[in-house]
């Protein structure tokens, strides 16, 4: 069994694929699979989003002993590429072990690497992240590291063998959007040829559109969809927002100005004076 079905995507992102580790993925939306009201809602939300990749928390789902096998089968049946992740791991050793489990379970070299430093913010442990990324690359994994917008850490992750970077927008599950716009813009400018995916903290479709307008290649989100009043409708809304943001980035956004500028030129327009013509 392989993690990729490579089915054609007929959703909003068809025709504008993103290359990740040499794989052309039709959609620029990556969707998490946790905390949905039911398996059917999860399946319908994935379909509505037209996402090309879903992420799965191996440690969290493996802990559900009774429903574990049914959940894995549901993920396989979604018909999209699977990106196992190491959510909940707090050391490089834990993350490496969990990644090996994901490779065995889903038959994929891809892994979303998380090494968490703080329980309150779920901020990445950048030291452990670089250590684990280097070891996993040596073992043949293709690593998608959940990191911050720190440029030094980004350079070390690339040197460790990562070809994709996933900086956070805000702490996981907060819905705060893009907390450090300056840092994210700087990261995009500093690594123009590296696929960058904003991961975590996006709470509204407008947040996703803004990330795409900045020139980011994709976004990954979960809670904003799974906890919405209508997860299926929200999945569709995010898909449309990402399409709009991507189109705006390609078209070229206007530069902000401090002063007003008339949209209708004054030169060459007729002038009507006041008073009588006599």
User: Other C-beta atoms within 10 Å of 120: how many?
Assistant: 6
Catalytic residue list contains 250? no
Give kind and range of the element (H or E) at residue 40. helix 39-49
Query: If you ran DSSP here, which 8-state letter would residue 256 be given?
Result: P
Q: Tokens 């959703």 sit at which residue?
A: 11
Q: Tokens 């030129």 sit at which residue?
A: 265
d(CA 87, CA 159): 23
CB contact at 8 A, 99 and 126: no
Q: Which of 7, 47, 112, 138 is catalytic?
A: 112
Supply the DSSP string of 72-136, one letter for each residue: HHHHHHT-SEEEEE-TT--SHHHHHHHHHHHHHHH--SEEEE--B--TTT--B-HHHHHHHHHHH
Q: Where are the alpha helices (H) located in 160-277, listed in sequence order?
A: 181-190, 205-213, 223-226, 231-251
Catalytic residues: 112
């Amino acid at each position: 069994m392989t993690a990729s079905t490579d089915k054609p995507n007929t959703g909003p992102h068809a025709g504008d694929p993103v290359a990740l580790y040499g794989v052309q993925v039709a959609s620029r939306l990556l969707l998490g699979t946790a905390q949905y009201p039911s398996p059917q809602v999860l399946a319908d939300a994935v379909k509505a989003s037209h996402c090309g990749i879903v992420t799965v928390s191996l440690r969290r789902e493996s802990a559900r002993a009774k429903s574990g096998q049914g959940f894995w089968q549901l993920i396989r049946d979604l018909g999209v590429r699977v990106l196992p992740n190491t959510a909940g791991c707090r050391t490089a050793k834990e993350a490496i072990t969990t990644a090996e489990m994901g490779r065995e379970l889903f038959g994929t070299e891809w892994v979303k690497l998380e090494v968490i430093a703080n329980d309150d913010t779920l901020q990445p442990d950048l030291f452990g992240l670089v250590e684990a990324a280097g070891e996993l690359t040596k073992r043949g994994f293709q690593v998608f590291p959940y990191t911050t917008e720190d440029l030094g850490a980004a350079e070390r992750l690339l040197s460790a063998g990562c070809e994709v970077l996933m900086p956070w927008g805000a702490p996981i599950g907060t819905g705060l959007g893009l907390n450090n716009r300056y840092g994210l813009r700087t990261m995009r400018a500093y690594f123009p040829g590296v696929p960058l995916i904003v991961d975590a903290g996006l709470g509204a479709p407008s947040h996703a559109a803004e990330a795409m307008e900045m020139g980011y290649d994709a976004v990954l989100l979960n809670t904003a969809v799974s906890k919405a009043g209508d997860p299926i409708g929200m999945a569709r809304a995010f898909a449309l927002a990402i399409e709009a943001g991507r189109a705006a980035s390609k078209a070229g956004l206007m530069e902000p100005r401090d002063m007003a500028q008339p949209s209708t030129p004054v030169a060459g327009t007729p002038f009507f004076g006041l008073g009588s013509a006599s």
